[in-house]
Amino acid sequence: MNTPTLDATTTTAPPAGVPVVDIDPFSDAFLTDPYEAHQRMREAGPVVWIPAYGIYACARHASVHAVFNDHATYISGAGVGLANFHKEAPFRPKSLILEADPPSHTKARAVLARILSPKTVMQIRATFTAEAGTLIDRLQARQATGETIDAVKDLAEVYPLKVFPDAVGVGEAQRENLLLYGDMIFNSFGPRNERLQKSAELVQPVTAWIMAHCQRENLRPGGFGDLIYQAADAGEITHEEAPLLVRSFLSAGVDTTVNGIGNAILCLARHPDQYAQLHADHALARPAFEEALRFESSVQTFFRTTSQDTELFGVPIPKDSKIVTFLAAANRDERQWPEPDRFNIQRRPAGHMAFGSGIHGCVGQVVARLEGEVVLTALAKRFSRIELVGEPQRRLNNTLRALASMPVRLIPA
């Protein structure tokens, strides 16, 4: 894996007839608070032009949905970030699932979808639930000694780093390397800015560890990783493809849920009336996690590339153009959701874009939902309130709505 070099942003002349929105979606200001800029893009039209990067953008629910559900026109094989792999080499071997199109995508997807099926979730549910209970009990005991709990460092990072690598079959030692890796991968979908460069430098020393943990000899027999190798034994994929698919689990399966859980806890801490409803009725844990994914989507953006000249909502788009889809903006589109800026755990936000849509829709969503549900249930059972005792700090990432820290006081029920 090479350390990426820095890109300068350049202004490209807008194509005629496409509304221009002059923003930098990878600037600190945007990433810190993207919502006003999302609104500007949605108001400007279903498809807009961002001159700083010379890209088309969709921020409305209807246009994001249309792009994700026409995988023949809007392909993933040229990269799901800003880089166009038709024009520049990817900085690492391409993902066999995320950055692939049918028919090769179909083959890899079938293997991972079977491993991460609802049946799997039934099998891991009891363990995931027990681990959530154990962790929250431990936090309660630590808090009782006067310690301040950081809901990010002590909970949102710890829980997925325990249960998910356990399920994949990765050993206990140095798992926090997965956080560095995830941070770099999700930065790599944006421009080659300083944010990416810094995270690539941090991940450099642990790259060998990551790659070693994609190999069968370092994966527990029977875990999700080993099941990928078993699919290779059965001839569904090749043995050369297996480690790259394990890599997909290690890159997509931790930072996403860490921030999904972190954002959900933050939403509940900032909306005590909503937390009170969850505390009164634990069955709301699942819809609460879902609503938090809509309200503060942990994955904010993904890109596509046009395979041919096309037209989207009347806007002509030439072949080989890059389009960024703002999943998080679609999730607050007033054309789709009543009172979109209200966090409401009773909402049942079916059709949100937080897991994408169409053939690439998150293959790990059943596991992500399980993690979110059991953590929120464990909290709701033990605590009547979550109070913020310091300002939560965001960790800016080119793709993720991520958190660095969130000091809280958990008020026992």
E strand residue ranges, 307-349:
310-312, 315-317, 322-326
The minimum distance between CB 303 and ligand HEM, in angstroms, equals 8
Identify which of residues 25 and 260 has a Cβ nearer to ligand HEM in the complex: 260
- DSSP annotation of 216 reads G
The minimum distance between CB 184 and ligand HEM, in angstroms, equals 16
Residue nearest ligand HEM, CB atom distance: 364
DSSP alpha helices (H): ranges in 213-284?
A: 224-233, 241-252, 255-270, 272-280
Identify which of residues 45 and 253 has a Cβ nearer to ligand HEM in the complex: 253
The minimum distance between CB 235 and ligand HEM, in angstroms, equals 21
- Angle subtended at Cα 253 by Cα 252 and Cα 256, rounded to the nearest 5 degrees: 75
The minimum distance between CB 397 and ligand HEM, in angstroms, equals 13
The minimum distance between CB 281 and ligand HEM, in angstroms, equals 22
Identify which of residues 143 and 403 has a Cβ nearer to ligand HEM in the complex: 403
Q: Cis bond leading into 392, ω under 30°?
A: no
- DSSP annotation of 76 reads S
Identify which of residues 199 and 357 has a Cβ nearer to ligand HEM in the complex: 357
Distance CA 9, CA 52 (A): 6
The minimum distance between CB 288 and ligand HEM, in angstroms, equals 13
CA 236 vs CA 115, 216, 232, 345: distances in Å: 13, 16, 6, 41
Identify which of residues 271 and 304 has a Cβ nearer to ligand HEM in the complex: 304
The minimum distance between CB 117 and ligand HEM, in angstroms, equals 11
| Sheet bearing 407-412, strands edge to edge | 149-150, 407-412, 383-388
Identify which of residues 362 and 388 has a Cβ nearer to ligand HEM in the complex: 362
The minimum distance between CB 389 and ligand HEM, in angstroms, equals 26
Identify which of residues 176 and 194 has a Cβ nearer to ligand HEM in the complex: 176
CB atoms within 10 A of CB 53: 21
Strand partners, 383: 412
| Sheet bearing 48-50, strands edge to edge | 48-50, 55-58, 322-326, 301-306, 74-75
Identify which of residues 121 and 396 has a Cβ nearer to ligand HEM in the complex: 121
Identify which of residues 269 and 354 has a Cβ nearer to ligand HEM in the complex: 354
Are 325 and 357 within 8 A, CB to CB? no
DSSP-based three-state secondary structure for 347: coil
Are 305 and 35 within 8 A, CB to CB? no
For 388-403, b/e burial (b = at least 16 CB within 10 A) is eeeebebbbbbbbbbb
The minimum distance between CB 296 and ligand HEM, in angstroms, equals 10
**Interface contacts to ligand HEM, rule CB under 6 A:** 76, 80, 97-98, 109, 112, 116, 248-249, 252-253, 256-257, 260, 298-299, 302, 327, 354-356, 360, 362-364, 367-368
- Residue by residue, DSSP assigns 168-198 as HT--STTTTHHHHHHHHHHHTTS-S-HHHHH
